[in-house]
Amino acid sequence: MRYSGWRVIREALTGHKGWTPAWRDPEPQAAYDILVVGGGGHGLATAYYLAKEFGQAKIAVLEKGYIGGGNVGRNTTIIRSNYLLDGNQPFYEFSLKLWEGLEQDFNYNAMVSQRGIINLFHTDAQRDAYTRRGNAMILHGADAEMLNRDQVRALYPFLNFDNARFPIKGALMQRRGGTVRHDAVAWGYARGADQRGVDIIQNCEVTGIRTEHGRVTGVDTTRGFIGAKKVGVAVAGSSSKVMAHAGMRLPMESHVLQAFVSEGLKPVIDGVMTYGAGHFYVSQSDKGGLVFGGDIDGYNSYAQRGNMPVVEDVAEGGMSLMPMIGRARLLRMWGGIMDMSMDGSPIIDKTDIDGLYFNGGWCYGGFKATPASGWCFAHLLATDQSHSTATAYRFDRFRKGLMIDEKGQGAQPNLH
C-alpha cells in the first residue's frame, strides 16, 4: 500500500478499514542469500538498499527483540554532517543527502526537519578549531557558517552568555542539520524492505555463527538454524557478543549513554544546540519535550541504564547553559548501549571469514549515519567492495596507524 494524502482522505471516508500492517511477520525460511543480523536502523537500511539499489533477493533481517526497540528508538534523533577528518566527512555528508530525500524514497513520513544545529564555542582557540572544521565541511560540499555572539543571541536569547567559566563567544552552525522522528526511520525502512521481499524476523536472537572451511554457512538462532551465503552483522552495542560467535575480538567496548526528555513545554528551542564544554546538548521535540543528553557514563556496560553521577553532570551542564531549564521537570530518562570503538569512528568491513561482514563501532553517533551506513554496508555485501565514502572504515586501520580520531584522544573508548 502506498501512503499519500489521498489515501488518508479515502480511509477517513471509509472508516479506516483499509489500513494493513506495515510489514509481514514471516516464519524464517531454511536459507537465504543474505542474512542481516540486527533489525535496528542500520540493519533495516542495509536490507532496504540491498533490495532496492543493489537488486539482491532472498534477504532476511534477524532481530532479537522487536523493530524499534533498540538504539534506533533510544537516541536523541539528531542528524548532521559537521565532521572534520577526510575519512569521516564525505560519509556523513552522503548520509545527510540521503536523509534529505529519504521520505520520498521510502514513502514514509519520517518527519525529517532541517532546523539547524549549532556547536557553541567559548574561547579564541575553540573558535579557530570550529573555523577549521567549518572550512573542512565546505570543502567536502557540506554547508557551514560561523555565528558570532550576537547572532547566537538572536537565535537563543535566553542562554547564559556571561557564564564565568564558559562565556558564549559564538557558534558553528550547520543549517542543513536537524532532527528526524527516530522510530519512523525504523518503521519506514522496515516497511520499504518488506515491500521488496525482505523477511523481517523478530524475536530471533543469533546464538552462533557456523563456518565451514573458512566460509560462513549460516547462523544458529533461538528459532533454529538459518543458512546463508553471506551474513552481515549490524548489532551496535552487542557487536562483541555476536562476533565472538565467530571467534573474533573487536577493537571495541560497550558503554552506556543516557538521554532525557522533559515534560512538554511551549516552543523555545527551534534547532539543535551542543555545548561540548558543559557535556550537554539539547533540542525540542515537536511534542514540546526538551530532548537532551551528555557524555557516556564511562565504564563498560550492557545494562541499558546508567547511574546518577552522569544524570547530575548532565543536569549541571543544562543549568549552566540555560538556567531556566531548572524549572522543567524530567519526564523520562533511559540508556542505550554504544559500541565505542578505539578511535571513535566506525567499521564497515569484511572479516577474515569468507561471507561474514561487519558494521559497527558507531559510538554515540549511529543515528545520523543510518542511511549511509545501510547504503555502504549494502554496497559491501553486494559487491565485496567498500563504498567510496567508507573506504577508511576498515578493521586494519589500527594495525596500520590510520586511525580516524576526530577528537585526537587516542585508543581510549571512554574518552571519545
Hunting for cell 519535550 — which residue is that?
Answer: 289
Q: Which is nearer to another protein, 243 or 265 (CB)?
A: 243
Q: Which is nearer to another protein, 266 or 399 (CB)?
A: 399
DSSP 251-320: SEEEEEEEEEEEEE--S---SEEEEGGGTEEEEE-TTSEEEEEEEEEEEE--SS---HHHHHHHHHHHHH
Q: Which is nearer to another protein, 185 or 206 (CB)?
A: 206
Nearest distance in Å: CB 298, another protein? 5
Q: What distance in Å separates the CA atoms of residue 224 and residue 275, rounded to the nearest whole number?
A: 48
Nearest distance in Å: CB 174, another protein? 32
Q: Which is nearer to another protein, 141 or 410 (CB)?
A: 410
Backbone angles phi, psi at 113, to 5 degrees: -130, 105
Q: What distance in Å separates the CA atoms of residue 309 and residue 100, rounded to the nearest whole number?
A: 38
Determine whether 249 is exposed, middle or buried from the number of CB atoms within 10 Å of its CB (0-12, 13-18, 19+): exposed
Determine whether 408 is exposed, middle or buried from the number of CB atoms within 10 Å of its CB (0-12, 13-18, 19+): exposed
Q: Which is nearer to another protein, 174 or 254 (CB)?
A: 254
Q: Tell me which H or E stretch contains 59.
A: strand 59-62
Nearest distance in Å: CB 336, another protein? 14
Q: Are 233 and 350 in contact (CB under 8 A)?
A: no
Nearest distance in Å: CB 361, another protein? 11
Nearest distance in Å: CB 257, another protein? 14
Q: What distance in Å separates the CA atoms of residue 44 and residue 48, rounded to the nearest whole number?
A: 6
Which stretches of the chain bind another protein, using CB under 8 A?
238, 240-241, 244, 249-254, 298-303, 307, 309, 342, 398-399, 411-414
Nearest distance in Å: CB 297, another protein? 9
Q: Which is nearer to another protein, 35 or 252 (CB)?
A: 252
Q: Which is nearer to another protein, 113 or 307 (CB)?
A: 307
Count of C-beta atoms within a 10 Å radius of residue 78 = 20
Nearest distance in Å: CB 238, another protein? 8
Q: What distance in Å separates the CA atoms of residue 62 and residue 38, rounded to the nearest whole number?
A: 6
